[in-house]
Amino acid sequence: MDIHSLRNGYASGQLTPEAVVKQAYDRIETEGLHPVWISVVPRETALARARELATKPLAELPLYGIPFAVKDNIDVAGLPTTAACPAYAYTPEQSATVVERLEAAGAILIGKTNMDQFATGLVGTRTPYGACSSVFDKRYISGGSSAGSAVAVAAGLVSFSLGTDTAGSGRVPAMFNNLIGLKPTRGVLSAHGVVPACRSLDCVSVFAETAEDAATVLRAARGYDERDDYSRVAPIGGGASPWASSAGFRFGVPKADALEWFGDNENPALYQAAVAKLTELGGVAVEIDITAFLETAQLLYKGPWVAERYAAIKTFFEAHSGDMDKTVAQIIQSATKYSAADTFSAMYRLEELRRRTQAVWQTMDVMLLPTAPRTYTHEEIAAAPIERNSHLGQYTNFVNLLDLSAVAVPAGFRPDGLPFGVSVIGKAFADEALLLLADRLQRGLVTTLGGSQRKLAETPVVPAMTPPPGCLLVAVVGAHLSGQPLNWQLTQRKGRLFRTCRTHPDYKFYALKDTVPPKPGLVHIPGFEGPGIEVEIWALPEETVGSFVDGVPPPLTIGSLRLEDGSLVKGFLAEPVAIEGSREITQFGGWRRYLSSL
């Protein structure tokens, strides 16, 4: 059910949206509505939508005919929103912004999925509609709170689904069902029309079989929404990821004794295999102290952020707490003990911890953690529902509090057949770069999609990004080359070497006179046939380019430079006046060869 396969089938005529939708409903009728679904779009409504698409061009709709599901705290016009609490149910007249955007891109909604009530839980069992299970073993939980959304994708009922993620609800179920779980930067996907859990932290999340599918959904659904007070777009240079397309990216790995597995003996080896694979892919493992991150995680449920859950449903809770899941009601009731003073104290504590984590981020580009330390059976969760739920959020709870982005990645299978997963975590707005890295890592660690035996290798990769997200490419030819005296001006701005190549043949090269440190000048000579000059292409975060260019002294300038493959990039050129009295060194083909000749 991956997007690429469906689109190929539609293009060839071997499949039609109507046939795919019919198959989904046939399976739901055979397997039953619960526990995966809470409600579904009427069959004839979905089929009519599929037939309507037949009149529209496939090429213009990136999600043409792609079936999807949404968690039942996300509004769909005409379907009840329950948040897994029947007494809370209401029927909205308008769909959530994300649903509207996905349908506008051609996707076909099948229905609304089961969840931990009011998105309070990481287990998928706190619901009156039946507890979901991992598609790999019915004895084990599916993870939550976006339980049905994950299972619907892993079981091949839909191609992708939407969840929500405050504490890890879009990532833990991904691990337990061998899926990609995209937890985008807060505000990148509109939360208008979503029942809040912690409104200041909530994110709409995406479950998919592949990172490319998740990226396709992200592109279709993202965008500023004035109806969502927390909606935002990346500022200039926001999410700049010069590391995304270069070898030598640094990934943070906790000290071995800092990782808690809560009695699991299989997952540690799979985590180390993921570390080894990311190293093989060109990363450099950096040992980090995650104490401040773990202390931040404790604030989410042991601090006044629980009061946000109370604030979201205060009126309902005070009248209907007896109609709620007992564990969820107990958690939300605990919020009433926090005062305004407690809230400010926790906010001050969060800023202190944020400052400490920022120091750790200076040493790494991304962080690699287990998505969850372990999984549990339904019986184990029933025996200790709050304690064992908290174990599952060990490595996820801090992400939204610290305004980070994350992608849960399938990372192999245990001897008992259950999947393991890791998360790549980055700064705000690094979503696209993380998906690129997640794709490479997934392909190095697993071979199959979701709960099926279909091959990951038969799906498209996330294409390399040129330039990397949030960056501008700059070609340097002399004193800014790696190892040369002005290279620090690039590295100080978090620049990364993107690639080394040559210019187009129509450039002459000069050693400029009276420059300190010595610098060359590159001059475009139309029609000249030279050897081409060696250049390094650096990726600079967009917000740093202005200060870099401002420091370029005359007679040098920044202009458009044509490379040997015909592409254009910004780079160092010399004004014509610069070559008067300067020595031509074109024959050396580059600054380093010239320097070695002296």
The string of DSSP letters for 441-471 reads HHHHH--B-TTS--BGGGSPPPPP-SSPTTE
pLDDT at position 576 is: 87
For residue 79, list its beta bridge partners: 76
Instruction: Answer yes or no: do 418 and 536 share one domain.
Output: no
Greatest alpha-carbon span in the chain: 89
Angle (CA) 166-147-408 rounded to 5° is: 60
Are 412 and 446 spatial neighbours (Cβ–Cβ below 8 Å)?
yes
Residue finishing a domain among 427, 458, 489: 458
SS3 112: strand
φ, ψ of residue 463 to 5 degrees: the values are -70, 150
Question: What does the DSSP 8-state code read for residue 577?
Answer: G
Q: Is 464 within the bounds of a domain?
A: no
Q: How far is CA 398 from CA 300, 354, 357, 406, in A?
A: 8, 10, 11, 11
Distance separating alpha carbons of residues 15 and 7, to the nearest angstrom: 9
Instruction: Answer yes or no: do 452 and 508 share one domain.
Output: no
Q: Is 512 within the bounds of a domain?
A: yes
pLDDT at position 406 is: 98
SS3 346: helix
Q: Is 466 within the bounds of a domain?
A: no
Per DSSP, the residues of 321-345 read GGGS-HHHHHHHHGGGG--HHHHHH
Q: Is 463 within the bounds of a domain?
A: no
Instruction: Answer yes or no: do 502 and 439 share one domain.
Output: no
Are 228 and 187 spatial neighbours (Cβ–Cβ below 8 Å)?
yes
For residue 208, list its beta bridge partners: 160, 180
Question: What does the DSSP 8-state code read for residue 411?
Answer: E
Distance separating alpha carbons of residues 136 and 377, to the nearest angstrom: 12
Distance separating alpha carbons of residues 67 and 189, to the nearest angstrom: 19
pLDDT at position 302 is: 85
pLDDT at position 423 is: 98
Q: Is 484 within the bounds of a domain?
A: yes
Q: Is 48 within the bounds of a domain?
A: yes
Taking the chain (598 residues) in runs of 10, the rounded mean pLDDT of each run is 95 97 98 98 98 94 98 98 98 98 98 98 98 98 98 98 98 98 98 97 98 98 97 92 89 94 97 98 97 96 91 96 97 93 96 98 98 98 97 98 98 98 98 98 98 97 92 97 97 95 97 93 96 97 96 93 96 91 96 96
pLDDT at position 88 is: 98
Residue finishing a domain among 458, 493, 521: 458
Instruction: Answer yes or no: do 453 and 511 share one domain.
Output: no
Instruction: Answer yes or no: do 486 and 451 share one domain.
Output: no
pLDDT at position 47 is: 98
Q: Per the structure block, which two tokens stand in for 595? A: 């320097």
Q: Per the structure block, which two tokens stand in for 303? A: 């601090």
pLDDT at position 541 is: 96
What CATH number should be reported for the domain holding residue 333? 3.90.1300.10
pLDDT at position 60 is: 96
Instruction: Answer yes or no: do 475 and 454 share one domain.
Output: no
* Helices and strands, number each (H, E), in the chain: 20, 21
For residue 503, list its beta bridge partners: 563
Q: How far is CA 111 from CA 21, 36, 92, 358, 545, in A?
A: 11, 10, 14, 41, 47
Instruction: Answer yes or no: do 278 and 417 share one domain.
Output: yes
Q: How many domains does the chain have?
A: 2
What CATH number should be reported for the domain holding residue 479? 3.10.490.10
Instruction: Answer yes or no: do 211 and 360 share one domain.
Output: yes
Distance separating alpha carbons of residues 598 and 305, to the nearest angstrom: 66
Residue 106 — left, alpha, or beta (φ > 0 → left; ψ -120 to 50 → alpha)?
A: left
Residues tagged active-site = 71, 145, 169
Residue finishing a domain among 434, 458, 482: 458
Instruction: Answer yes or no: do 285 and 391 share one domain.
Output: yes
Q: Which residues span the domain enclosing 322?
A: 3-458
68 contacts: CB under 8 Å, gap ≥ 6: 102, 107, 108, 109, 110, 158, 159, 160, 161, 162
Distance separating alpha carbons of residues 305 and 164, to the nearest angstrom: 17
Residue type, 300: L
Instruction: Answer yes or no: do 447 and 345 share one domain.
Output: yes
Per DSSP, the residues of 40-60 read E--HHHHHHHHHHHTTS-GGG
pLDDT at position 245 is: 78
pLDDT at position 256 is: 85
Instruction: Answer yes or no: do 359 and 223 share one domain.
Output: yes
Terminus-to-terminus CA distance in the chain, angstroms? Answer: 63
Instruction: Answer yes or no: do 515 and 385 share one domain.
Output: no
